[in-house]
Structure 1
């Protein structure tokens, strides 16, 4: 067989292999249509998630699921907090045995707070009886920077945000003085699980479109106005994620993106391109990279996609319903799905090699051709600049050199398989093209 043909077949195989991104596995929740609303990834092997009712989110679920084998298998369990009407809002895992949850009141007269498990989720205990007991107390988010240091944030009470920090593994929580936190605006609240962190920095979002930011593990806070008016409203909502202490992304429910390079103080709208689109629910930076994954669960706007250039160019992964998304690094990442009667769904585990920090060919993985197959017209996305385009047949013969462009025509060529060599300022990539 012709060597060039062998190389082309190998290229096609590699191209298809790189397209693999998620592997869906059973979340082990016992009820069909149970989703995972929040992940907490500990390391390459351990991750926890909390469940919610995918048919009617108002129906309370007190359940978690956990993996200790890098996402291959998940084991679900109940979260017994002494009152089946309390809601499970957020989770922060320390290891395979230890995790904290922020618990919120769903009806008047209840008290939430922070619960902890030290036996892998078998039992849960309220670790402080003195916090979040005021009328109106409502815990929203919890995050642990390490096994000892954590912060839990709640809605304003009596005109001040209710925020506590711990430095002893949650045995005691200390209220952050009101003087250390910018005052809330009228009727401003936080939202369940809407926080993100990088190093010692942490951010949470509010109902007036503001972003609260601490650089010292929650001891002192600043606040910035975002480009949107509400991070959790019925008409307007959004999600944020940060790659490091400065670089972040904001995604709205209609897939408009904004970027920041100063920790959220100012934002610039991103003009997106590519064969994919960001979605409207959750978004996650891979820490300390330019790689981002976006997901959506709305049946009319469901799917997942990724960008390798800070949200400028997008490649679509699938059109399945995805809920939360979280990445530890370029190897460990998860997205929430929904259980089914097949016992094979519920968690999307990242299994691809698309998001490889330090990969000098990462730019090529973002380059896409569409539509492909095509009748005549072919478009190129994933690169801002094209230097050269050359079309080959499977015998290695050069058929045509095109003017550098992001679109070209195959009119006049017979149906069949071709190879398009694309040269950019970052390198060269050859992709198969099927004309029909």
Structure 2
């Protein structure tokens, strides 16, 4: 890239960052100034806001991988994988052949051609597929053969090194590791994994129960047990520490559903009770020490949230999504306000302000300015 090209890109990112900062600084009541359709975050002309993209699908997309403002992948029920390369104006169905009975819940993409997708379920229903040609062909690189294992989430540190996690097997979470971009997988030793609580598990609701930041740090979010916990490894899954969060648990439907770290220190956890008839108080927490301790959000989201992401080029702004809406924080996760009432399960952002969300009934949206 020429120096002029670099300058233009820097200026563009700077202008976008300035626009986002100005929009996020708007008073909280601005989001309530007019009735919304549930897909826009406020009055006409106000930005940023979600813009729905027509996918032509009716499945639930809990798996999402944002590559850029133009490129994104989504994965969901009925073995469905879609990809866009034009900002959501059109979508290509690139589902693996014969995967119609599988439930895809997480997808990690490195660019427009390379992606790894995880199917969840007991025993052989848990599988990993990978593509290197934009989904034109897929290779099944892992099939679980242990009937006690149930894989929930997958994450990558870079284009070669990644992990996948299963609910507890013989009292401990099971971790898969790859060092070749998902071509092959091996089960890591369990000696460095703390014991799981009775009834504890992870939630395959948004592909964000296992997340990484940097070259070696990874976090695992849990619920269902007496307390909702967050486990942390600083060596790519070999050894783990554990911390209790402030998000309520004590029931199979409650706990931390998603975590996001903008670096190896600053994290946000969201969750609650996924049952629509149950309240979800204290459904968000923040950490400033890499997940070793968590503090309850002073003003949490008003309901269960299953996905969370930091906004690009910001140290304090993040979005949380769930079936009843999207919430925004501009103080690092301590206080949240609802900015949209549309239903989404997961959310992901890229450095060029490519923020995407996906959910039920084929819903996919991009944040517009």
Q: TM-score, normalised by structure 2?
A: 0.75
State the aligned residue count. Answer: 312
Distance of 2:220 and 2:152 partners within structure 1: 9
Quote the residue 1:258 is aligned against: 285
Q: TM-score, normalised by structure 1?
A: 0.64
The answer on whether the counterparts of 1:39 and 1:50 sit within 8 Å (CA) in structure 2 is: yes
Q: List gaps (5 residues or longer) in structure 1.
A: 1-10, 53-60, 340-344, 353-436
Does 2:94 correspond to 1:77?
yes
Distance of 2:241 and 2:60 partners within structure 1: 34
The secondary structure found in structure 2 opposite 1:283 is strand
More strand as a share of residues:
1
Distance of 2:259 and 2:165 partners within structure 1: 17
Alignment of structure 1 residues 2-401 onto 2, 5 Å? 17-29=45-57, 31=58, 34-52=59-77, 61-80=78-97, 82=98, 84-106=100-122, 110-128=124-142, 132-192=144-204, 193=207, 194-200=209-215, 201-207=217-223, 208=225, 209-230=228-249, 233-235=252-254, 238-253=257-272, 254=280, 256=282, 257-272=284-299, 277=301, 279-281=303-305, 282-286=307-311, 289-297=315-323, 302-329=324-351, 331-339=353-361, 346-352=363-369
The secondary structure found in structure 2 opposite 1:36 is coil
Distance of 1:311 and 1:185 partners within structure 2: 27
The secondary structure found in structure 2 opposite 1:110 is helix
The answer on whether the counterparts of 1:111 and 1:137 sit within 8 Å (CA) in structure 2 is: no
Q: List gaps (5 residues or longer) in structure 2.
A: 1-25, 31-42, 273-279
RMSD (CA atoms): 2.9
The secondary structure found in structure 2 opposite 1:127 is strand
Give 1:235 shift: 5.0
**Higher alpha-carbon Rg:** 1
The answer on whether the counterparts of 1:337 and 1:348 sit within 8 Å (CA) in structure 2 is: no
Q: Residues 237, 315 of structure 1: CA spacing in aligned structure 2 closer, same or farther, 3 A cutoff?
A: closer
Distance of 1:232 and 1:83 partners within structure 2: 32
Q: Which 4+ residue blocks in structure 1 deviate beyond 6 angstroms?
A: none
The answer on whether the counterparts of 1:163 and 1:176 sit within 8 Å (CA) in structure 2 is: yes
Distance of 1:141 and 1:188 partners within structure 2: 15
Give 1:350 shift: 0.6
The secondary structure found in structure 1 opposite 2:45 is helix
